[in-house]
Amino acid sequence: MNVPIKPQSQTMIFRYGDEQITFERVKRPQATGKVLIKVHPDCRVIVSAPEGAESEAVLSAVKKRGRWIYEQLRDFRKQLEFTTPRQYISGESHYYLGKQYLLKVIEAPEQVQGVKLLRGKLDVSVKTKSAEKVKELLTDWYKARAKETFAKRLDAMLEQALWVEERPVLRILTMQTQWGSCSPNGRITLNPHLVKAPRECIDYVILHELCHIAEHNHSERFYRLMSQVMPKWEKTKERLDGMAFVIAN
């Protein structure tokens, strides 16, 4: 099983005034009667509802928050107008362990090319300025940091996962749709982009995959186990979902 970057969903639609708003209905893992609505910075509207809730009831709950959803979308759309694709030039903002760092590209023909994290900045030294080279160096740096960080966090999380008898094999692999996955034989694969997220989000994904070693499906037992080792995991998951747009690339 895996932790998707975007949750599995059912697409639904409602109207607010003259606008047709699409939202994704996802299963709310813990069975409560509440419907949770989240508008993400990339303008995705995610509605978490109990699996047994009727579609009409979910639509009704969403329509009651129609004005709030509309206003959130309007504000995020304004922000997106000023968002440009990464150009890998000085002044850009890049994430690492949940914090933003300014990118500083240094042209230094005599220096060894590489990345250093110094005083709130990501300094990238290149022989000649090239967006492709800066991207390549940053990608390699993130992968190296991911390998080191994930290994440490896996060791820390294994202290809570008492059902795991042997340390799982850990693999780092860039994935388009998943933060992490667990194979049937217990090998854990993590997305290097996850190292851009806060430590608690990294811990959540690792614990999620460790729980799959005990329970391969998203059963009630799986969620009970998850809640035992990380009681507020749903809030952490929401935080990670909200960051997906800015860190998953």
Q: What per-residue confidence (pLDDT) applies to 197?
A: 96
Average pLDDT, the chain: 89
- Does residue 148 share a domain with residue 107? yes
Residue 70 lies inside a defined structural domain of this protein: yes
Q: What per-residue confidence (pLDDT) applies to 40?
A: 84
107-155 tens-digit pLDDT: 999 889 999 998 889 999 999 989 999 999 999 999 999 999 999 999 9
- Does residue 30 share a domain with residue 76? yes
Which of 52, 81, 110 finishes a domain? Answer: 81
CA 9, 11, 15, 16 torsion-angle sign: positive
- Does residue 184 share a domain with residue 161? yes
Q: What per-residue confidence (pLDDT) applies to 243?
A: 83
Residue 88 lies inside a defined structural domain of this protein: no
CATH number, domain at 145?
3.30.2010.10
Which of 81, 114, 133 finishes a domain? Answer: 81
Q: How far is Cα 9 from Cα 26, in angstroms, rounded to an integer?
A: 5
Query: What is the percentage of the chain residues whose pLDDT exceeds 70?
Result: 93
Residue 86 lies inside a defined structural domain of this protein: no
- Does residue 221 share a domain with residue 133? yes
Higher pLDDT, 157 or 218: 157
Q: What per-residue confidence (pLDDT) applies to 6?
A: 65
- Does residue 126 share a domain with residue 63? no
Q: What per-residue confidence (pLDDT) applies to 218?
A: 84
Residue 110 lies inside a defined structural domain of this protein: yes
Most trustworthy range by pLDDT among 177-181, 205-209, 215-219: 205-209
- Does residue 134 share a domain with residue 168? yes
19-61 tens-digit pLDDT: 889 999 988 776 566 889 999 887 889 998 888 888 999 999 9
Q: What per-residue confidence (pLDDT) applies to 149?
A: 98
16-25 tens-digit pLDDT: 888 889 999 9
- Does residue 75 share a domain with residue 106? no
Which of 56, 81, 106 finishes a domain? Answer: 81
Residue 87 lies inside a defined structural domain of this protein: no
- Does residue 192 share a domain with residue 126? yes
Q: What per-residue confidence (pLDDT) applies to 81?
A: 65
Q: What per-residue confidence (pLDDT) applies to 126?
A: 94
Q: What per-residue confidence (pLDDT) applies to 76?
A: 81
Residue 139 lies inside a defined structural domain of this protein: yes
Q: Please compute the mean of the pLDDT values over residues 185-210 and round it to a whole number.
A: 96
Residue 5 has pLDDT above 90, yes or no: no
Residue 187 lies inside a defined structural domain of this protein: yes
- Does residue 102 share a domain with residue 70? no
What is the domain count for the chain? 2
Residue 16 lies inside a defined structural domain of this protein: yes
Domain coverage including residue 156: 93-247
Residue 181 has pLDDT above 90, yes or no: yes
- Does residue 220 share a domain with residue 99? yes
User: What is the number of alpha carbons within 13 Å of residue 43 lying toward its C-beta?
Assistant: 14
- Does residue 133 share a domain with residue 176? yes
- Does residue 121 share a domain with residue 222? yes
Q: What per-residue confidence (pLDDT) applies to 34?
A: 83
